[in-house]
Amino acid sequence: MLYRSLLRPLLFRLSPETAHELALQTLSFAPKLTKRFLSDRCKRSPFGELKRFGLTFSNPVGLAAGFDKDGIALRSLAALGFGFIEAGTVTYHPQPGNERPRLFRLPLDKALINRAGFNNEGARAFAERVINNRPDCVLGVSIGKSKLVSLDHAIDDYLKSFAAVYDVADYVAVNVSSPNTPRLRELQQATQLDKLLRALQERNLQLSQQSDGRGILPLLVKLSPDLEREELQDIVAVAKRNSVAGLIATNTTTTRAMLQTRADAVQACGEGGLSGAPLRRRSREMIATLYNLTEGSMPLIGVGGIFNADDAWEMISAGASLVQIYTGFIYEGPGIVRNINEGLRRIVSREGFVSLDEAVGSRAKGF
């Protein structure tokens, strides 16, 4: 309540990116103090330990990639109760991203438009920062293509990023779906994706066999909401063939349909990916489609339009094993993690399930 009545109005007076940077810097200032005062209040494990792709999660609510790209506030963010954090997206080459302004709020729609363009300090700098500052939750790292690297050399670029973050990541998410890097989404095409994932898994195996190797890391792929069912079928086949541990659905969308914000105001924001409440239905539909295509055999992370426990429940019952938030975190504040976890526990019990695992995909056939 304090966030929505006091802090959010103040933050929303600032430009979106300035507010974002202020929040990150504040969180990074005193991680031990943040943990001391917030951890007991925020941390929840309503379903006990959750096993997903060989990792153990304290709860199913994670922070999506894009919020802490350079890993400067991971410990404080973990103290807010997240079961996992996906940092990044990082690229091998440091890059400033697209020109500002590049982040816009649509409050009437509870949405954001961003065209950040993978602004980050680079995969090596990320790993150096995080190696001695790991959060006390599962840490995923999203990797993407450097803008200066052509599509023909994308595989080598991804391999360098993967090797750079191998020692600090619990899992690696391959971002081939951001709309803000030219031609990146072409890597979702089956032939291209197959080559990329095969090369990454070969490097994964090589690194795991070194004397100081940490074993084979779970490799996940993040998908666009703008894909058709036939494309999803091809992607699932490629993912299975390359022993992908899970799929993340979805990234932001380039569509602007069914928005309450005036069309001229939306147009003034320009290009970029739309996230938040308008993406909720499409993301849920994609999770259900992927769950049915994989017959529930591959863990799915649902992200898009999750603002409360009911939203999280809809995503889980559609087939998500875990969920992530981003825009909901910005609009609802730090209490959202605790509220979702506590609300999910009540909903799962109300629906007659003993465990969260029983509920996963329970309504997928209805899509």
Point out the catalytic residue in the list 177, 178, 224, 321: 178
Helix (H, G, I), strand (E, B) or coil at 91: coil
For residues 182-200, average pLDDT: 96
Tell me the pLDDT band of 213, cut-offs 50, 70 and 90. confident
**Residue 31: pLDDT above 70?**
no
Output the pLDDT for position 45: 80
Taking every pair of C-alpha atoms in the chain, what is the biggest distance, in angstroms? 59
Output the pLDDT for position 33: 65
Q: What are phi and psi of 121, to 5 degrees?
A: -90, 0
More confidently predicted of 168 and 214: 168
DSSP H helices in the chain: 2, 8-11, 16-29, 31-42, 74-79, 123-130, 154-165, 190-208, 229-241, 263-269, 280-294, 309-318, 327-332, 336-350, 356-359
What's the pTM?
A: 0.96
When the pLDDT of each residue in the chain is averaged and rounded to a whole number, the result is 95
Output the pLDDT for position 3: 83
Query: pLDDT tens digits for 105-153?
Result: 999 999 999 999 999 999 999 999 999 889 999 999 999 999 999 999 9
**Residue 284: pLDDT above 80?**
yes
**Residue 36: pLDDT above 70?**
no
Helix (H, G, I), strand (E, B) or coil at 15: coil
**Residue 39: pLDDT above 70?**
no
Q: What percent of the chain has pLDDT over 70?
A: 96
Instruction: Tell me the CA distances in angstroms from 167 to 77, 130, 171, 172, one per residue in order.
Output: 21, 10, 10, 11
Question: Which distant-in-sequence residues (6+ apart) come within 8 Å of 230 by Cβ?
Answer: none
Tell me the pLDDT band of 99, cut-offs 50, 70 and 90. very high
Tell me the pLDDT band of 29, cut-offs 50, 70 and 90. confident
Query: pLDDT tens digits for 288-317?
Result: 999 999 999 999 999 999 999 999 999 999
Q: Point out which residues pair with 140 in neighbouring strands.
A: 86, 171
Token pair belonging to 8: 């959010």
173-199: burial string, b at 16+ Cβ within 10 Å, e else: bbbbbbbbbeebbebbeeebbbebbeb
DSSP code at position 218:
P
Tell me the pLDDT band of 354, cut-offs 50, 70 and 90. very high
Q: Quick check: is 178 catalytic?
A: yes
